[in-house]
A and B are shown apart, each in its own frame.
Chain A
């Protein structure tokens, strides 16, 4: 009898080009996404060695990190220059490198442009059972469609460009099982934050996660993208969802998805991509859906989570001495004190966007809270940055942009934006942002910026009240709205 295998082991086995005696494998890479920040040195390396890109047809380049989210073309269609010369230089490098190496390039003003991790699934570039890499840690997102997807460094980007392979050791496997039903107002983002809180930011190190259980089966593809996106925040380079009917329905008709007879063959193959009955995981983590509340972060690590109805924890409450020291440092940085109610924390900035939460369902959910309401007087700046040009168009077709603008938000062009502030979108030092992004690290949204990670509906709720707020309270006043 064949040994039962996990989904990860099946995808791994199908991609081994060569196995070395020490267990290291040369793994074939099916899809490679390239953006402007982590690729210039890789292209420079190829040039210096006189090497070509082995499979430009399996590679897709999209600028996202540095692009301003203000208009990129003037009324005559001319490019509006980018103020920061270094950002401009990095963007120009990708724009030149992609055609020079024969790689398809989606440009800054193309309607398909967006954050690589939004564009890949949207275009059908990301497919179940493929290996997909990108020089960006949030590549884990693509695991939502059943792709073994992980972030790589620039040397590995160069290695993939030149050889279409990577030398890898097989990871351990971790099943993250959540059964039950999510409570009222609890979203996939809260699930992702709960996992980080439960296992810690190093909990998944060395492992590939597989999300299992009814909560994940019931989740939409966009919700799964949010959860898989934050696998890396729990230490796992990849997080997988077994492809199912929802996955197939999502992919059908996407521009780069298979068509016709190939589509039928693909579906037949994709249906084999699940962990076998009896397959063993190296670790199993079980969380009860009923224990997950609308969640916020209080500190400077994504594991620093608490229910929005909770209190800022006391550093002494942690068993580990180094965690106690880290918690104190976090509270000093965040300007919070132990025992403070999270719902009393006033917010000055709202950011709805990033590869975690900038898809159409995220925008619909936030808009449903904001419809007929306005941002509080204490909010200095609120903005929505759609994940791609196509998301933006769809939202505009549904009138969501008008809801955001009427509520006092700015409606921007797509990109990574204030998630990491490589473009002009930053949070000023000492000011506080309710952000739908993925990292609350010190200085992440700008030097001295204070980040509270939240779901899109929680960001909308904070915008309306001017402080961290339990969105369920606002939902109660609004009949017929489901988060």
Chain B
């Protein structure tokens, strides 16, 4: 995974609330067997509307997306994160995210930043004209107008994003503990996890 430290750039002032992952990427795009190329299908339905932010040349290639409450609800499709990554989005800022989406985003090197609605509203304003700066190490979102919003992040996720770490590789280092756990359950509740023959 690519390392993520600071992101500087324009942001899509999207702002929509309760954006489900069917909106991020409709089901007919899920038939791929690869992770690449889904940016073309991102927000397909909304992009049919004239004046949508995703086709506005002002915002083309923006690395930041600003959304409303409960972003990424609904289906667990990781294709939503792949589609955003393929669009070039590295950070999504919203008042809240669905649990499944934020997990999927992190696993694809996308930072989800939770900020109070009033801060998100302010960033929506700034985004229309100016860039936004996100610093993962300092856990801040700043603008050239003295705005400075601090955000929380799970320390493990922060470490993985900063280091571009492979989570599966890290867990496989714990194979002995997993084996010990399995042996113990095979003794106590063999109908759940039988001993490996």
Interface residues of A (CB under 8 A from B): 17-18, 20, 22, 24, 26, 28, 30, 37-38, 40-41, 44-45, 49, 51, 54-55, 57-58, 65-66, 84, 86-87, 89-90, 93, 127, 129-130, 135-137, 139, 151-156, 158-159, 162-165, 167, 169, 171, 201-202, 205-206, 232-233, 235, 237, 258, 262-263, 265-266, 269, 301, 322-323, 326, 420-422, 439, 441-444, 447
B31 within 8 A of A: yes
In the bound complex, residues from chain A placing their C-beta under 8 Å from that of B28 are: 421-422
Query: What are 28 A-B residue pairs whose CB atoms fall within 8 Å in the complex?
Result: A26-B174, A30-B193, A37-B31, A38-B77, A40-B34, A57-B196, A65-B30, A66-B31, A84-B31, A135-B76, A135-B78, A136-B76, A137-B74, A152-B76, A153-B81, A156-B104, A159-B167, A159-B171, A169-B154, A201-B70, A235-B70, A262-B190, A266-B189, A421-B27, A441-B22, A443-B45, A444-B27, A447-B45
B194 within 8 A of A: yes
B5-57 interface with A by 8 A CB criterion: 17-18, 20, 22-23, 26-28, 30-35, 45
Question: Is A159 a contact partner of B76 (Cβ separation < 8 A)?
Answer: no
Q: Are B190 and A165 in contact (CB under 8 A)?
A: no
B156 contacts chain A at the CB level, 8 A cutoff: yes
Minimum CB–CB distance for A230 against chain B, Å? 12
Instruction: Please report the C-alpha to C-alpha distance between residue A158 and residue B20 in the assembled complex, in whole angstroms.
Output: 23
Inter-chain pairs besides A163-B174, A235-B98, 20 sampled, C-beta below 8 Å: A17-B177, A30-B192, A30-B193, A40-B32, A40-B33, A57-B196, A87-B31, A90-B31, A129-B192, A135-B78, A136-B75, A151-B76, A153-B100, A155-B104, A159-B168, A163-B168, A201-B73, A202-B98, A266-B191, A326-B18
User: A237 to chain B: closest CB distance in Å?
Assistant: 5
CA–CA, A263 to B189, complex, Å?
Answer: 10
Chain A: minimal CB distance from B176 (Å): 10
Interface residues on B, range: 35 or more
Residues of B with C-beta under 8 A to A49: 168-169
Q: Whole-angstrom distance from the CB of B31 to the nearest CB of chain A? A: 4
Report whether B103 and A153 are in contact in the complex, using a CB–CB cutoff of 8 Å. yes
* Chain B nearest CB, measured from A147 CB (Å): 10
C-alpha gap A443/B49 in the complex (Å)? 14
Interface assignment of B137: CB less than 8 Å from any CB of chain A: no
Separation of A90 and B29 alpha carbons in the complex (Å): 12
B183 to chain A, nearest CB (A): 12
Q: Is A441 within 8 A of B104, CB to CB?
A: no
Residues of A with C-beta under 8 A to B34: 40-41, 44
Known contacts A38-B77, A447-B26; is-contact A167 B104 (Cβ 8 Å): no
Interchain CA distance A65-B45 in the complex, whole Å: 21
Rounded to whole angstroms, the CA-CA distance of A325 and B33 in the bound complex is 37
Contact yes or no, B107 A155, CB < 8 A: yes
Question: Are A202 and B69 in contact, CB atoms less than 8 angstroms apart?
Answer: yes
A301 with B18, Cβ < 8 A, contacts A22-B156, A137-B76, A151-B100 known: yes
B112 within 8 Å of A (CB atoms): no
- Shortest B96–chain A CB gap in Å is 6
> What chain B residues lie within 8 Å of A421 (beta carbons)?
27-28
Shortest beta-carbon distance from A158 to chain B in Å: 6
Chain B 88-127 per-residue mask, 1 if CB under 8 angstroms from chain A, else 0? 0000000010111001100110000000000000000000
B178 within 8 Å of A (CB atoms): yes
| Contact present for B76 and A127 (CB under 8 Å) | no
Question: With A135-B76, A422-B30 given, is the CB distance from A444 to B70 under 8 Å?
Answer: no
Residue of A nearest to B81 (CB): A153
CB distance from B144 to the nearest CB of A (A): 27
B17: chain A residues at CB < 8 Å are 322-323, 326
Docked-complex contact A422 and B154, CB < 8 angstroms: no
Asked whether A163 lies within 8 Å of B27 as measured between CB atoms, the reply is: no
**Shortest Cβ distance from residue B99 to the other chain A in the assembled complex, whole angstroms:** 5
The residue of chain A having its C-beta at the shortest distance from the C-beta of B34 within the complex is A41
A-B interface, 9 closest residue pairs, ranked by CB to CB distance from nearest: A153-B78, A258-B191, A153-B104, A155-B107, A86-B31, A40-B33, A151-B76, A202-B70, A137-B76
Residue of B nearest to A202 (CB): B70
Q: Which listed residue, B68, B107, B178, touches A156 by the CB 8 Å rule? A: B107
A40: B residues at CB distance < 8 A:
32-34
Residues of chain A within 8 A (CB-CB) of B185 are 28
Set B30, B70, B78, B171: member contacting A26, Cβ < 8 A: B171
B75 and A137 form a contact (CB under 8 A): yes
How far in angstroms is the closest Cβ of chain B from A438?
9
Whole-angstrom CA separation of A457 from B181 in the bound complex = 46
B167 touches A167 (CB 8 A): yes
Enumerate chain A residues within 8 angstroms of B31, measured Cβ to Cβ: 37, 66, 84, 86-87, 89-90, 422
Check if A127 sits within 8 Å of B167, measured CB to CB: no
**Distance in angstroms between the alpha carbons of A24 and B156 in the assembled complex:** 8
| Whole-angstrom CA separation of A377 from B77 in the bound complex | 38
Q: Does B138 contact A (CB under 8 A)?
A: no
Cβ-neighbour of B171 out of A167, A202, A262 (below 8 A): A167
> What is the bound-complex CA distance between A269 and B192, given in angstroms?
11
Residue of A nearest to B180 (CB): A17
Q: Is the CB of B76 within 8 A of A205?
A: no
Which of B98, B104, B155, B177 is A205 in contact with, Cβ under 8 Å?
B98
